[in-house]
Amino acid sequence: MDIAIERVNEWPAVLMWEKHVFNRTRGVFIPIESIDDVRSIIYSHNYERDYFNYLKRTYSYRKTKKISQIIHLSDLHLGIKGNDTKILRLIEILKKHRRKTDSEIQMIPIISGDLVDSPTSKNVKLYEYFESQLESLGLTNPITVLGNHDVHIKGFLRSHQKGKNTLINLVTRELITVIDELKLLVIRFNSNTDGKWAQGKIGTDQLADIGNQIDRLIGKEDYYKIALLHHHPFQMERPDWMKKTWYEELLGNLNFDIDMSNILLDSTIFIEWLNARNINFLIHGHKHIPKLFNSNGIEIVAGGSSTGNIDHMENQKTFLTYNVINYDMELFRPISSTIVFEDLLGSGTKSYQVKKY
């Protein structure tokens, strides 16, 4: 089933498996285009002596769709003491993903904020090195937005202007990234314009500015649009594996609604703006809760912490995640998303949630 889940973008398909040596199971995944493909697979059973190997030779490398992949990382929080092992593990996991994937598939990296834990000069250098490691894997020129930790010390209360300015120069500068070969627009929203604590806001001035820039794009009216920001515009339910942080416990005891203090301040007007612009795909981070869901007609890809910066209910575990969004290069739209995770470092990644569009 892992094979079928990894290749969810190629469904419909036939999955065949059998017991092999020492009762191990082996499988073959065959994308199909019509009912005639299914008939051929069934009929060949009557004529082929080594049926399973025949299927592998004939069908196992078949592909029915031409895709690119968006690799979504989030909430790296580079600079946290003792996080080196997790960062190295993330790079190794991405290296394996690149190695296992068809070399012809283009990969586009997106990072939805909190690149560093605080915008100090030392942490900025850590991010520069991290970006160079991504580049060595073929994940070049990541499309990024800044999070609250990238502009404030520890994410709230105090600004750190020097480090913030350096990061602004490092991340993607344009508000709209145009990828012509995919007929795709990635629209970046700065959600750090206002808000108390770790809360964010976009503001009507920015919405007007981005609207103006979209209207100036001649000949790209039919391009698919993806919205990218750091703060979450929809409330996120805590998964059962995630423990509350110490400050959440403290503020909760004081009857302070920590969830509402983190949500995007102008989320209602932002969602209305997206609907008016027919933007129905959104990528964000901030809560460290990985989740694929639909709300208000918008498909949401929420990023966890790609360096496993979470408090797990089991002390020896983490929850290191990244998201793979398969983008159809003939339909020019996303066709599936998969959240990939590792909770016990070095144990191997698994699929946490899969959604087909």
Neighbouring-strand partners of residue 152: 159
Do 89 and 162 lie in a common domain?
Answer: yes
Q: Are residues 288 and 217 in the same domain?
A: yes
Residue 147 shares a structural domain with residue 117: yes
* Residue 14: its H or E element: strand 13-19
Residue 61: per-residue pLDDT: 72
pLDDT band of 64, cuts 50, 70, 90 = confident
Does residue 284 carry a pLDDT above 70? yes
Identify the pLDDT of residue 356. 93
The pair of three-digit structure tokens given for residue 149, joined into one six-digit string: 């930790």
Residue 124 and residue 49 share a domain? no
Mean pLDDT for the chain overall: 88
Reported confidence tier of residue 159, pLDDT bands at 50, 70, 90: low
Q: Among 22, 37, 59, where does a domain finish?
A: 59
32 and 152 share one domain? no
> Using one digit for the tens of pLDDT, what is the confidence trace for 183-223?
999 999 999 887 565 678 999 999 999 999 999 999 999 99
Tens digit of each residue's pLDDT (9 = 90 or more) over 243-283: 876 656 655 554 545 555 578 999 999 999 999 999 999 99
Dihedral sign, Cα of residue 274, residue 275, residue 277, residue 280? positive
Q: Residue 156 corresponds to which tokens in the numbers above?
A: 């709230």
Query: Any idea which of 163-167, 199-203, 261-265, 314-318 has the lowest mean pLDDT?
Result: 163-167
Same domain? 96 vs 208: yes
How many domains does the structure of the chain reveal? 2
Residue 103 binned pLDDT confidence (cut-offs 50, 70, 90): confident
* Lowest model confidence (mean pLDDT) among 161-170, 258-267, 348-357: 161-170
**pLDDT cut 90: percent of the chain above it:** 61
Of the candidates 32, 59, 86, which is a domain's last residue?
59
Same domain assignment for residues 109 and 22: no
One-letter amino acid at 331 equals L
Alpha carbons 328 and 330: distance in angstroms, whole number: 6
- CA 8/CA 297 separation, integer angstroms: 22
What residues contact residue 182 under an 8 Å CB cut-off, 6+ apart?
A: 68, 108, 224, 327, 329, 332
pLDDT at 266: 94
Global pTM value: 0.86
Last residue of a domain, one of 37, 59, 81: 59
Question: Among all chains, which residue has been given the structure tokens 């490398």?
Answer: 61
Greater confidence (138 vs 164) lies with: 138
Do residues 133 and 268 share a domain?
yes
Within 10 angstroms of residue 287's Cβ, the number of other Cβ atoms is 26
* Positive or negative: CA dihedral 285, 289, 290, 296: negative
Q: Where are the beta strands (DSSP E) in 173-332?
A: 176-179, 184-188, 224-228, 281-288, 291-295, 298-304, 320-328
Residues 88 and 48 in one domain: no
Q: What percent of the chain has pLDDT over 70?
A: 88
| String of DSSP letters for 51-96 | HHHHHHHHHTT--S--EEEEEEE----BT-TT-HHHHHHHHHHHHH
| pLDDT at residue 340 tops 90 | yes
**Lowest-confidence region among 236-245, 260-269, 325-334, 348-357:** 260-269
| Same domain, yes or no: 157 and 258 | yes
- Considering the domain architecture, whether residues 47 and 71 belong to the same structural domain is answered as no
Type of residue numbered 271? I
CATH of the domain at 283: 3.60.21.10
User: Are 243 and 307 within one domain?
Assistant: yes
Number of helices (H), then strands (E), in the chain: 11, 14
Lowest mean pLDDT among 42-46, 84-88, 182-186: 42-46
Containing domain of residue 89, as a range? Answer: 67-356
* pLDDT on residue 51: 84
| 307 contacts 91 by C-beta, under 8 angstroms | no
Q: Which of 53-57, 113-117, 191-195 has the lowest mean pLDDT?
A: 191-195
Average confidence (pLDDT) over 50-64: 80
